[in-house]
Structure 1
Amino acid sequence: MDAQQNKQVIQEAYRLFLNGDIRGVIERCDDNAEWTSPDSEYIPFAGTFHGKQGIADFFSRLDANAQALRFEPREFVAEGDKVIVLGHATWQAKPTGRSFDTPFIHAFTMRDGKVIRFEAHADTAAGERAFRSDQSAQPSMPSQLHH
């Protein structure tokens, strides 16, 4: 498939995601696809997931822990086997009720019309602040120095 066909596959995947059709999104992935975002001990769906079952696990964790208040893919750029999506999202962390805004960059690598690798890049610091429990969200204070 050429770059424009790859772009159409990804645009359709976003339409499916926005309509809640996660199965349809997963069907556009290769059996051995890798789905990855920066690791975070606070964000329950961060890290790397392998294969369709792993990607299903990612979406299950995402759904259990975050709600998209706004999710706007704004630009789709395709060249060769890559499709890059630039957008903006507002998420609510379900465990804490806090929300956060973040621009995002999603990079897809395609082969034979299927996603073989997905990389998400967003403001992880904002996400971590939203997901941390109230107690651990407090900045640590330096201990008092005694003279």
Structure 2
Amino acid sequence: MAYLLETAARSIETSTEPREFIAQGDRVLAVGFATGRIKATNKTFEEDSVFAITVRCAKPTSIRKYASSALPISALRVGTMSRNMLQTCFSF
């Protein structure tokens, strides 16, 4: 998993714009919008996303991102790379 995340970090440029924050107790939801570019294909994508953050003692203890992976995955497709090969690395 670490290798996959490192590879993705080198292969994808992303920018996230939080648009709304919803807080209740020690939970914060950050609703936002992200844009990105796959370096290998030069294709761009846009996606809506939600970050679920747990905060304790003024520090984040857990961060989870929820977004559709279909748009970034479709931008990754090059040449003969099949959907099955992509599903091996990503779940969608």
Q: Do the aligned partners of residues 107 and 88 (structure 1) sit closer, same or farther apart at CA in structure 2, a change above 3 Å counting?
A: same
CA distance in 2, matches of 1:134, 1:81: 46
Q: Which residue of 2 aligns with 1:109?
A: 54
Look up the equivalent residue of 2:11 and give its one-letter code: N
Aligned residues: 81
State, as a whole percentage, how many aligned pairs show the same letter.
28
* 1:27-86 superposed Cα distances (whole Å, 9 cap, x missing partner): xxxxxxxxxxxx8xxxx43xxxxxxxxxxx6xx852x22213x53110011111111001
Structure 2 residue runs of 5 or longer lacking an equivalent are 84-92
Contact 1:110 1:116 in 2 (8 A): yes
TM-score by length of 2: 0.73
Largest Rg, 1 or 2: 1
Q: Which is strand-richer, 1 or 2?
A: 2
Q: CA offset at residue 137 of structure 1?
A: 5.2
The RMSD of aligned alpha carbons is 2.3
More helix by share: 1
- Structure 1 stretches of 4+ with a deviation exceeding 6 A read none
1:66-81 aligned within 5 A: 66-68=12-14, 70-81=15-26
User: 1:98 aligned to 33, 38, 43, which one?
Assistant: 43
